[in-house]
Homo-oligomer: A and B are copies of this chain.
């Protein structure tokens, strides 16, 4: 059978297509990759993981207005539907769901799914309301697709923590599969927002991954004994060597609770997470250190 990608723009048709597939095979495993489009190799890796573990792979592409703040990049967020569909086809997705804003929000939503605790710090602090928007739209998409498993990139480590907390608290019957960060050869974490970078910003943006490498080696050399504030200071000093870099945050927190740690060894996993701005472009990166 020749593989056939279905492009669906309406919720009702999406439900019907998935229902039909499930009716044909009662043990069908549905894998879901929710994205905002402008797909790159990071998204491709999620599709590959889903393809490997599931029978039916659903990709959604929706730039969700609810998770953008009033001064953020909603209107200029990059889009390229044709290229996205070609990538989905190449990665053998079965269904691409491409709803309009009107399809997702026919009336302004009065219902918000709000996760506390894990959203207090990092991007939750810099982008108030962002994770309410994420949790709400992911909850909506989960109800439309009803997947067995959903795939998220660990580059958005806090997003993964928020979704896992929501799924656990609300007993949503879906397995969350975090997938490793995919990087350019020189270390820059892949992001749809990298396209915004001017050449010199792009060069200096390496400071995110290099500061995480520095942090990893400082932790390894000290066998985890390095003082949290000393580690924090070393990362900040390293980033400051790049004159175009404007630090939004550098945080060292327990994972997945995202609560501050007094000593690294107090948590079994520690997340070192950064957000750094280059002009108007805000990039994030992180590394997870397990003891």
Contacts and interface: CB of A to CB of B under 8 A. Distances in A.
A110 interface: yes
Interface string A114-153: 1111100000000000000001100110011010000000
Contacts of A116: 110-112
Interface in A96-124: 109-118
A198 B83 CA distance: 72
B110 A117 contact: yes
Interface stretch (A165-173, A210-218, A241-249, A270-278): A165-173
Please indicate which of the listed interface residues A140, A146, A170 has the most CB atoms of chain B within 10 Å of its own CB: A170
Nearest to A22: B26
B111 A135 contact: yes
A10 interface: no
A8 interface: no
Contact of A144 (B140, B143, B171): B171
B166 A111 contact: yes
A225 to B, nearest CB: 31
A170 B172 CA distance: 13
Contacts of A170: 111, 113, 136, 139-140, 143
A16 interface: no
A11 interface: yes
Given A23-B26, A26-B26, A169 B118 contact: no
Oligomer: number of copies: 2
A232 interface: no
A109 B140 contact: no
A169 B15 contact: no
A87 to B, nearest CB: 26
Nearest to A257: B110
Given A26-B23, A26-B26, A114-B114, A169 B135 contact: no
Interface in A146-188: 146, 165-166, 169-173
A15 B115 CA distance: 25
A111 B165 contact: yes
Contact of A169 (B26, B109, B114, B144): B109
27 contacts: A11-B171, A15-B173, A109-B169, A110-B115, A110-B116, A110-B165, A110-B169, A111-B113, A111-B114, A111-B115, A111-B116, A111-B165, A111-B169, A111-B170, A112-B114, A112-B116, A113-B113, A113-B114, A114-B114, A139-B170, A140-B170, A143-B170, A143-B171, A143-B172, A143-B173, A144-B171, A146-B173
Interface of A: 11, 15, 23, 26, 109-118, 135-136, 139-140, 143-144, 146, 165-166, 169-173
Name the 9 nearest CB pairs between A and B, nearest first: A111-B169, A110-B117, A143-B171, A109-B169, A111-B115, A140-B171, A111-B166, A110-B116, A143-B172
